[in-house]
Copies of this chain bind each other. A is one copy, B any other.
Amino acid sequence: MNQTKRKDAKASKPLSRIQEANRKAILDAALDVFATSGFRGATIDAIAARTGMSKPNLLYYFKSKQQIYQQVLEQTLEDWLAPFEAIDPEGDPVEELRRYITAKLEMSSKRPEASKLFANEILHGAPVVGSFLETTLKDLVTEKTKVIRHWVGEGKLAPIDPYHLIFMIWATTQHYADFDIQIRAVAGSQAGRPGFSEQAAQAVLTIILNGIKPR
Contact = CB atoms under 8 A, between A and B. Distances in A.
A186 B41 contact: no
Interface string A107-130: 000000000100110111110001
A124 B38 contact: yes
A186 B136 CA distance: 9
A21 interface: no
Given A40-B40, A137-B182, A171-B179, 17 more contacts: A36-B124, A120-B120, A130-B185, A137-B186, A158-B206, A160-B203, A160-B206, A161-B202, A163-B187, A167-B172, A167-B179, A168-B203, A168-B207, A171-B172, A171-B174, A171-B175, A211-B211
A84 B52 CA distance: 47
Interface residues of A, number: 57
Contacts of A199: 161, 164
B168 A172 contact: yes
Contacts of A125: 36, 181
22 contacts: A36-B125, A38-B40, A38-B120, A119-B179, A120-B120, A123-B123, A133-B181, A134-B185, A137-B182, A137-B186, A138-B186, A138-B188, A158-B206, A160-B203, A161-B199, A170-B179, A172-B172, A175-B175, A207-B207, A208-B211, A210-B211, A211-B212
A17 interface: no
A122 B179 contact: yes
Interface of A: 36-41, 116, 119-120, 122-126, 130, 133-134, 137-138, 141, 158, 160-161, 163-165, 167-168, 170-172, 174-176, 178-179, 181-183, 185-188, 190, 199-200, 202-204, 206-212, 215
Q: Which of A122, A170, A188, A207 has the most CB of B within 10 A?
A: A207
Given A172-B168, A175-B171, A123 B119 contact: yes
A37 B203 contact: no
